Amino acid sequence: MGPERGGRREAGAGAGWLSGLRVRFNLLVSAVRPPGEDTDVAVFCRVLGVPGLADVHVHFLPPRLLRRVWEYLDAAGPLVGTAWPIRYRWPDEQRVAHLRALGVRAFSALAYAHRPGMAADLNVWTLEFARATPGCLPSATFYPEAGVVDYVLAALDAGARVFKVHLQVGGFPADEPRLRPVWGLLAEAGVPVVVHAGHAPVATAHTGPAPFAALLARHPRLTAIVAHLGAPDYEAFLDLAETCERVALDTTMAFTPFFERLTPFPARALPRLRALGLAGKVLLGSDFPNIPYAYAEQIAGLVRLGLGDPWLRAVCWENAARLFGLTVTGS
């Protein structure tokens, strides 16, 4: 899946990014043209009228761990289930520079632990990375283990603004008893947690809407961002976002040709997605750099939905800007 899948810029189209008007869901909406290549994304932001993109689902990891993640994806491991070539197999500095060239003003550095004894050290690395990287949200993670409350408190004291938990890779239930005080701390602090709670790409015993709903029943004030729109159980996770005050969804990989082939989003649910986005409950996510296509495809997929410029502005910048208190510079 190369960048050509998003469609290349037509000759002489440099001044024609606004592609006109069309009717969708009984509303007249102007359609900003989908970026065909990464070099078009910054232009997309200018035409849309946002200062840039705020991407809540970006991964930066210690080099050794990142190599292992890439090796697992290269091998299409059991939790992947399909060929997954890495598009941005670059050093950290090059990937940060590319995000800035795209117009990404704010981004996370999501790490996640798959065994005991990892999370505290990962937090030290990701928090230091954020301190050294303008625009990076201080990010942290946790795992059900002895000492988890202590190192989560330490991460909060160090300024962590977003956490990540991967229930599929971690292989633990969200409501694991050792994590109950952690969820309570984060709910009280109002710090968002990006949770891979859905079954995609491969279901496990602890993924799916029911286990996550049980967690929310115990911690109704938790600020949670469900990764990948909860794929493949999109509508069940839309239900949770509609009924739970502090539950939002991120768009990670959704509506790209790669992901639509694996787990298509139901067209009947698009009006609900539009309403949630305008209500502040859908945020841009990409999974950069661990994607098998160009970043532009994520943005193009959102544009092609035809949900309107106000929805795109909300999802690509405004919702995350409100949640994280971002300035116009994304710092």
Give the separation between CA 289 and CA 295, rounded to whole angstroms: 8
Please tell me the predicted confidence (pLDDT) of residue 83.
85
Residue 331: CB atoms within 10 A of its CB come to: 10
Residue 237: CB atoms within 10 A of its CB come to: 24
Give the separation between CA 32 and CA 312, rounded to whole angstroms: 9
Greater model confidence, 295 or 7: 295
141-166 confidence digits (pLDDT tens): 999 999 999 999 999 999 999 999 98
* Structure confidence at residue 14 as a pLDDT band (50, 70, 90): very low
Please tell me the predicted confidence (pLDDT) of residue 72.
86
CB 16 within 8 A of CB 284: no
pTM: 0.89
Please tell me the predicted confidence (pLDDT) of residue 328.
65
CA distances from 162 to 57, 104, 155, 270, 276 (A): 10, 17, 10, 27, 21
Please tell me the predicted confidence (pLDDT) of residue 259.
95
Please tell me the predicted confidence (pLDDT) of residue 4.
33
Please tell me the predicted confidence (pLDDT) of residue 36.
97
**Cα-to-chain-centroid distance, residue 85:** 19
Residue 78: CB atoms within 10 A of its CB come to: 9
The secondary structure of the chain, three-state, reads: CCHHHHCCCCCCCCCCCEEEEEEECCEEEEEECCCCCHHHHHHHHHHHCCCCEEECCCCCCCHHHHHHHHHHHHCCCCCCCCCCCCCCCCCHHHHHHHHHHHCEEEECCCCCCCCCCCHHHHHHHHHHHHHHCCCECCEEECCCCCCHHHHHHHHHHCCCCEEEEEHHHHCCCCCCHHHHHHHHHHHHHCCCEEEECCCCCCCCCCCCHHHHHHHHHHCCCCCEEEHHHHCCCHHHHHHHHHHCCCEEEECCCCCCHHHHHHCCCCHHHHHHHHHHHHCCCEECCCCCCCCCCCHHHHHHHHHCCCCCHHHHHHHHHHHHHHHHCCCCCCC
Q: Which two tokens stand for residue 250?
A: 């991120």
Please tell me the predicted confidence (pLDDT) of residue 247.
98
98-121 confidence digits (pLDDT tens): 999 999 999 999 999 989 999 999
Give the separation between CA 41 and CA 52, rounded to whole angstroms: 9
34: which residues sit within 8 A by CB, 6+ positions away? 6, 7, 44, 296, 299, 300, 301, 303, 304
Which residue carries 């009006």 as its tokens?
Answer: 271
Please tell me the predicted confidence (pLDDT) of residue 238.
98
The pLDDT of residue 81 is above 90: no
